[in-house]
Amino acid sequence: MLEMKGIRSGYGRLTVLFDIDFNVEAGEMVTVVGANGAGKSTLLKTILGAVPCGAGDIQFRGQRVTQLPAHRRVSAGIAIVPEGRQVFPSLTVQENLVCGATGVSTKDLKGQLERCYELFPILNERSTQRAGSLSGGEQQMLAISRALMSRPRLLLVDELSLGLAPVIVERLYVALRDLCDRGLGVVVVEQFSHYTETSDRDLYIEKGSFREAGVPAGAIE
């Protein structure tokens, strides 16, 4: 579904990713593990188009998207759950979800909301509550659901476990695994290598390049 070849990307003159080859299949969960500054978030932003490629090629569902802007890639079926969740605190849970419904018609909106509430029933209970008053775990559920509102084929999740209790993280991974079993491709980046049991493949990134084996320096086991 997603195939990246020879990717170099970064910020201005600063190159962060070096000759990255990376692929994700439909229904597959891939976990990318690395220390702070290893290039994990830049990888996701490059897939989304928020960081431009300096070299290489990106194919998504048979279409070359290397030069497409981020909003076009979202329309093509890529969505991201940003690091730190970044919900809109003054809006209600349901209003946050509606904000993520890019390309969803009014008649299909109710069905999308119901699917998110089925995945995380607590959000249905909190639908009229302001997002800023939710717990960290509930905000992460909301951030995931908001990304799912656009009906993506590929979901990118940045630092899923950040600041959350292990029992909540396990619940979130179970939900993502269920989505994969329905055909969604998922890429999760983590600093903690012990949260990789649910994934189909684990990759380790260090200084902008993938390591073939072993935990990258500074990653927490």
User: Do 90 and 82 touch, CB atoms closer than 8 A?
Assistant: no
pLDDT digit string, tens, across residues 85-108: 999 999 999 999 999 998 888 889
Provide the β-strand partners of residue 186.
29, 155
Tell me whether residue 133 is in a domain: yes
Tell me whether residue 215 is in a domain: no
Residue ranges in the chain whose pLDDT is less than 70: 195, 212-221
Tell me whether residue 93 is in a domain: yes
pLDDT digit string, tens, across residues 130-148: 999 999 999 999 999 999 9
Tell me whether residue 138 is in a domain: yes
Tell me whether residue 127 is in a domain: yes
Tell me whether residue 170 is in a domain: no
Tell me, yes or no, if the pTM score tops 0.85: yes
Tell me whether residue 119 is in a domain: yes
Q: Determine the distance from the C-alpha atom of residue 120 to the mean position of all C-alpha atoms in its chain, rounded to a whole number.
A: 17
Tell me whether residue 179 is in a domain: no
Domain of 137, in residue numbers: 85-151
User: Do 115 and 151 touch, CB atoms closer than 8 A?
Assistant: no
Instruction: Count up the domains in the chain and report the number.
Output: 1
- Mention every residue, 6+ apart, whose C-beta is less than 8 A from residue 171: 137
